[in-house]
Structures are given as C-alpha cells and as structure tokens.
C-alpha cells in the first residue's frame, strides 16, 4: 500500500500539443501539493525516519484513497469546464515525488542554510546527486515497488531521478483515472486551453 507520508506530490511538466480547437495545449501545470495534484493512496504503513529504510512493508493496495492537501489549483476553480478529455489522450511527464522523513527534512534545511552561510565549513560545498540520494532519497526497494506498481497499471517509466526522490512516467488519461481516480477535463482559462483533474 502507498504510504501517504511517503508521497509528497505528483508533478506533470508543461508541454505543448497540437489540437483541433487551439494551436497548443498546456496540461497539468504543476500537479503538486501546492498546485494541482492527483489522488494518492492512503497510508497504513509508516515511513521510518532513518534515511534509506524501506517505507513499504506490504504490497500496494488501491483503497482507501485520499487527496493531497492544498492540491487544487485556484485557476481551475475559475476556469470554464469543457468536459472530459479523451480516454486515449496521451499524458506525458507525470512525476511522482516522494516525501522525505521529518529527520531528512530537518537535516536538508540545516544543510541548505549552512551552504549559504559564509562562516560555515559547508559554505558552497554542493552535493552530487548520488550523495543527495544517499542522505535524502528513499530506499531502492521503495523505488522498485513504486515502479512495479506503475508498470502494472500500464504506465511507461520515463526516468528515476538520480536523487532518488521522484519517478517520471507517462500514460493515457484512462490509465490515470484507473490508477489514481483522477478524471481529467479540458479547461479554458482566459484565452488559454488546459487540461487538469476535475474538481470534485
């Protein structure tokens, strides 16, 4: 099962696409905890505060589901809903972001502050992605579990970040609805056309 405190957000990168009603579409503008997020699956297992201890102790299940807090874009609330997208519509660049443990988050904030402090021995001593992953990423086994679940839902894995804190994948609107319970609609915002998760 997904650990809600293991999942930080879903991001989808901006992209442009030809459409019959507009020369370009911009979709899923920052699906994240502070903008527009997909559903995540509820936690019934605990993420260990130790950096790379596996957070999933049981298989992933698909219920119950929760919505990431503060995940709705205010722009969608004011937009004109043009109806559901085609189930076959391609949705590239979806990014699953893992949440760091409280211990990792505190250590990262301290490190960032030290790296900007001229009096600190860590001033401007930047980390490589691999060092960042070892200190602030999630366990390889958790990455593997997430990848396996995404593939089982028909998604294509595009990339696993070297920092081991996110997975980028692609699929169709139907696959996103099936996996995450998120129904995608077309929206008009001013003179721009977008697509996003339908507001419940």
The string of DSSP codes covering 105-169 is HHHHHHHHHHHT-TTSTTTT-PPPHHHHHHHHS--HHHHHHHHHHHHHTTPEEEEE-TTSSEEEE
Phi/psi region, residue 135 (left: phi>0; alpha: psi -120 to 50; beta: rest), is: alpha
pLDDT at 181: 85
Does 171 or 38 have the greater pLDDT score?
171
Q: What angle do CA 109, 2, 56 make, to 5 degrees?
A: 80
How does the average pLDDT of the chain come out, rounded? Answer: 75
Q: For 145-163, write each residue's pLDDT tens digit.
A: 999 999 999 999 999 999 9
User: Which pLDDT does position 37 carry in this prediction?
Assistant: 35
pLDDT digits (tens, 9 = 90+) for 80-120: 999 999 999 999 999 888 888 899 999 999 999 999 999 99
Q: Which residue has the higher pLDDT, 62 or 193?
A: 193
What's the distance, CA 128 to chain centroid?
Answer: 22
pTM for this prediction: 0.71
Phi, psi of 103, deg, nearest 5: -65, -45
How confident is residue 10, by pLDDT bands cut at 50, 70 and 90?
A: low
- Predicted pLDDT of residue 114: 97
- The residue with greater pLDDT, 185 or 55, is 185
- Using DSSP's 3-state secondary structure scheme, residue 85 falls into coil
For 177, residues 6+ apart whose C-beta sits below 8 A from its C-beta are 87, 183, 184
CB 26 within 8 A of CB 14: yes
pLDDT of residue 182: 85
pLDDT > 90? residue 198: no
For residue range 30-77, what is the model confidence (pLDDT) as tens digits? Answer: 333 222 333 333 322 333 333 455 555 566 777 677 777 666 667 788
């Amino acid at each position: 099962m997904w650990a809600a405190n293991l999942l930080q957000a879903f991001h989808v990168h901006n992209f442009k696409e030809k459409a019959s009603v507009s020369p370009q579409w911009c979709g899923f503008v920052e699906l994240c905890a502070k903008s527009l997020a997909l559903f995540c699956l509820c936690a019934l297992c605990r993420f260990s505060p130790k950096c790379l201890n596996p957070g999933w102790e049981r298989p992933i299940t698909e219920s119950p589901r929760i919505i990431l807090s503060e995940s709705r874009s205010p722009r969608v609330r004011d937009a004109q809903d043009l109806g559901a997208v085609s189930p076959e519509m391609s949705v590239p660049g979806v990014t699953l972001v893992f949440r760091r443990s409280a211990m990792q988050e505190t250590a990262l904030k301290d490190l960032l502050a030290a790296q900007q402090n001229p009096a600190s021995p860590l001033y401007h001593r930047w980390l490589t992605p691999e060092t960042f992953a070892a200190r602030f990423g999630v366990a390889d086994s958790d990455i593997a579990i997430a990848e396996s679940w995404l593939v089982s839902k028909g998604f294509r894995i595009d990339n696993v970040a070297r920092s081991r804190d996110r997975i980028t994948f692609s699929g169709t609107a139907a696959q996103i609805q099936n996996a995450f319970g998120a129904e995608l609609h077309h929206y008009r915002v001013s003179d721009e056309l977008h697509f996003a998760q339908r507001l419940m």
